[in-house]
């Protein structure tokens, strides 16, 4: 048997997570993840998701949070700046957030977010800022056609001006050149994916860009660039691949050393997008594996109308929709929870089980693997409910040996009918649940 509970808790502890909550305005606020080593060097701030319909940028940022370890220097990541727009796959549901950095009205729903990110940008520890985007077409200095031209944004490092005077890493053009040549010397998937430098010459030429995040940064003596992968590349993994390659080059320039948990290839990124085992822990007493989760889960036990959750994936969130709750990963809707409310007050943190003939103590919440059968050995004051199992005349499913074939497919939480909820109650209180995974 494997007990995943401890492993999840450990992985979550390893992330130093800062959540700033907003009470009004946008529904979801961004998160700042600080990955710092004890080995001093520079600090890179990476911002994903200023535009909600540009997933190459924000998924790349989420990969930094999930799979990178910093060995020297520091990497700060905001993977979900405009989270309300990300879950709706819209550029900006309250207007273009990247045009609100010169001034913003107090009544603007983005007000808190824009002000909070400005403070992080101006933090004296931050040496350089990257704003991640997916842009139209492929930027080229000279007009070739409607896709490859000077008005396009894709596959480019964007700078507002050549350099910022008297500022470390202020040589924006040279830095962008270095990054681009490293990127273009690596194996591009297609030759036309080559990166170019787009200098918007914001101060003299671009009134719109004067309102942007990077221009706010550079006018406050903070070097900042945008990385744009192309919206014309349809494959998400390919866009993440280019973003991560570019960010790694920036880290090299800033002398930030890192380790990543995977090989940097389009194939591996694709595999991680599809198959990574993410768990969400809800209200500290329920865990749901998100891979292959069904579109809806009924009779979801809650003890209050507020959900708190922890998940390794920074793009996973839970939002209230009417009487229900919806779990998203980025713009992908994973499942809807239809709640049923119970009293709180049961403090049980674990339970005796017999799994394939072996006695085990199982934490609440956790996922346990079962080959043949299991049974719960709860104390007399606990009622056990295995969702999907029923036996005539039995109300408490404690001390009953249960096999997979006795559980009905339609009550599994996953579409392959392998995972079932085992819930514990004390009088009218919900204690928590364990997921039994028939392997």
Query: Can the peptide bond before residue 365 be classed as cis, meaning omega within 30 degrees of 0?
Result: yes
- On whether the CB atoms of residues 434 and 417 are closer than 8 A, the answer is no
User: How near is the Cβ of 206 to Zn ion at its closest, in Å?
Assistant: 15
User: How near is the Cβ of 51 to Zn ion at its closest, in Å?
Assistant: 4
Kindly determine how many residues on this chain lie close enough to bind Zn ion according to the rule CB under 5 A.
3
- On whether the CB atoms of residues 84 and 52 are closer than 8 A, the answer is yes
User: How near is the Cβ of 209 to Zn ion at its closest, in Å?
Assistant: 12
Nearer to Zn ion, 101 or 325 (CB): 101
Phi and psi for 193 in degrees, rounded to 5? Answer: -80, 0
Nearer to Zn ion, 227 or 256 (CB): 227
Chain positions 128 to 187 lying near Zn ion, rule: CB under 5 A, are: 133
User: How near is the Cβ of 11 to Zn ion at its closest, in Å?
Assistant: 31
- On whether the CB atoms of residues 225 and 158 are closer than 8 A, the answer is yes
Nearer to Zn ion, 133 or 140 (CB): 133
| Residue 242 CA, distance from chain mean position | 18
Phi and psi for 361 in degrees, rounded to 5? Answer: -95, 125
Chain positions 231 to 290 lying near Zn ion, rule: CB under 5 A, are: none
User: How near is the Cβ of 30 to Zn ion at its closest, in Å?
Assistant: 16
**Among 29, 35, 42, 51, contact with Zn ion (rule: CB under 5 A):** 51
Rounded-to-integer distance, Cα 411 and Cα 427, Å? 24
Rounded-to-integer distance, Cα 285 and Cα 431, Å? 7
Binding part of the chain for Zn ion, among 51-59, 187-195, 314-322, 393-401 by CB under 5 A, reads 51-59
Binding part of the chain for Zn ion, among 49-57, 136-144, 261-269, 374-382 by CB under 5 A, reads 49-57
User: How near is the Cβ of 53 to Zn ion at its closest, in Å?
Assistant: 8
User: How near is the Cβ of 31 to Zn ion at its closest, in Å?
Assistant: 20
Binding part of the chain for Zn ion, among 43-51, 160-168, 348-356, 406-414 by CB under 5 A, reads 43-51
- On whether the CB atoms of residues 41 and 72 are closer than 8 A, the answer is yes
Rounded-to-integer distance, Cα 222 and Cα 395, Å? 65
* Alpha helix (H) residue ranges in 167-304: 172-185, 202-205, 213-218, 236-253, 266-275
User: How near is the Cβ of 96 to Zn ion at its closest, in Å?
Assistant: 9
Nearer to Zn ion, 51 or 329 (CB): 51
Binding part of the chain for Zn ion, among 53-61, 164-172, 216-224, 321-329 by CB under 5 A, reads 53-61
Rounded-to-integer distance, Cα 226 and Cα 128, Å? 11
User: How near is the Cβ of 260 to Zn ion at its closest, in Å?
Assistant: 25
Bridge-based pairing state of the strands 350-355 and 382-386: unpaired
Rounded-to-integer distance, Cα 156 and Cα 229, Å? 7
Nearer to Zn ion, 51 or 140 (CB): 51
Nearer to Zn ion, 228 or 312 (CB): 228
The 3-class secondary structure across 61-78, one letter per residue, is: HHHHHHHEEEEECEEEEE
Rounded-to-integer distance, Cα 34 and Cα 377, Å? 42
Chain positions 366 to 395 lying near Zn ion, rule: CB under 5 A, are: none
Binding part of the chain for Zn ion, among 45-53, 68-76, 102-110, 172-180 by CB under 5 A, reads 45-53
Nearer to Zn ion, 54 or 160 (CB): 54
Question: ∠ CA 193-144-240 to the nearest 5 degrees?
Answer: 20
Nearer to Zn ion, 54 or 312 (CB): 54
Nearer to Zn ion, 54 or 127 (CB): 54
- On whether the CB atoms of residues 425 and 381 are closer than 8 A, the answer is no
Q: Tell me which residue of 118, 95, 77, 94 sits closest to 26, measured CA to CA.
A: 94
Bridge-based pairing state of the strands 43-47 and 74-78: parallel
Please give the residue whose beta carbon sits closest to Zn ion in the complex.
Answer: 133
Nearer to Zn ion, 227 or 419 (CB): 227
User: How near is the Cβ of 74 to Zn ion at its closest, in Å?
Assistant: 25
Strand partners of residue 403: 373
x/- string (CB under 5 A) for Zn ion, residues 120-139?
A: -------------x------
Q: Which residues bind Zn ion (CB under 5 A)?
A: 51, 54, 133
């Amino acid at each position: 048997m494997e007990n995943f509970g401890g492993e999840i808790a450990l992985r979550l502890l390893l992330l130093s997570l800062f959540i700033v909550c907003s009470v009004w305005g946008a529904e979801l606020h961004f998160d700042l993840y600080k990955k710092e080593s004890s080995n001093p060097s520079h600090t890179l701030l990476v911002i994903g998701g200023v535009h909600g319909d540009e997933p190459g940028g924000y998924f790349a940022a989420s990969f930094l949070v999930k799979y990178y370890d910093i060995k020297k220097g520091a990497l700060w990541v905001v993977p979900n700046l405009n989270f309300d727009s990300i879950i709706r796959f819209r550029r900006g549901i309250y207007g273009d957030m990247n045009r609100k950095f010169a001034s913003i009205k107090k009544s603007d729903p983005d007000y808190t977010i824009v002000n909070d990110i400005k403070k992080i940008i101006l933090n004296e520890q931050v040496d350089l800022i990257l704003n991640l985007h997916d842009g139209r077409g492929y930027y080229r200095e000279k007009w070739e056609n409607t896709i490859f031209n000077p008005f396009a944004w894709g596959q480019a490092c964007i700078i507002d001006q050549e350099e910022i005077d008297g500022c470390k890493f202020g040589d924006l053009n040279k830095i962008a050149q270095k990054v681009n040549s490293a990127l273009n010397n690596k194996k591009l998937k297609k030759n036309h994916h080559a990166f170019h430098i787009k200098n918007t010459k914001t101060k003299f030429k671009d009134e719109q860009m004067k309102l942007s995040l990077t221009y706010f940064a550079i006018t406050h003596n903070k070097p900042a660039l945008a990385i744009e992968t192309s919206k014309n590349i349809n494959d998400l993994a390919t866009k993440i691949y280019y973003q991560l390659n570019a960010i790694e080059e920036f880290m090299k320039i800033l002398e930030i050393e890192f380790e990543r948990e995977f090989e940097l290839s389009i194939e591996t990124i694709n595999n991680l997008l599809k198959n990574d085992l993410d768990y969400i822990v809800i209200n500290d007493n329920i865990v749901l594996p998100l891979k292959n989760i069904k579109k809806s889960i009924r009779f979801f036990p809650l003890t209050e109308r507020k959900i708190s959750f922890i998940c390794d994936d920074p793009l996973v969130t839970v939002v209230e929709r009417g009487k229900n709750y919806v779990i998203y990963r980025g713009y992908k809707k994973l499942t809807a929870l239809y709640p049923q409310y119970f009293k709180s007050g049961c403090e049980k943190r674990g339970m005796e089980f017999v799994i394939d003939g072996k006695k085990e103590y199982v934490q609440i919440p956790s996922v346990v693997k079962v080959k043949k059968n299991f049974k719960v050995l709860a104390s007399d004051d606990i009622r056990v409910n295995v969702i999907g199992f029923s036996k005539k005349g039995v109300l408490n499913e404690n001390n009953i040996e249960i096999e997979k074939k006795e559980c009905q497919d339609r009550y599994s939480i996953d579409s392959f009918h392998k995972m079932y909820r085992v819930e514990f109650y004390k009088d009218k209180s919900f204690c928590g649940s364990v997921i039994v995974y028939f392997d």
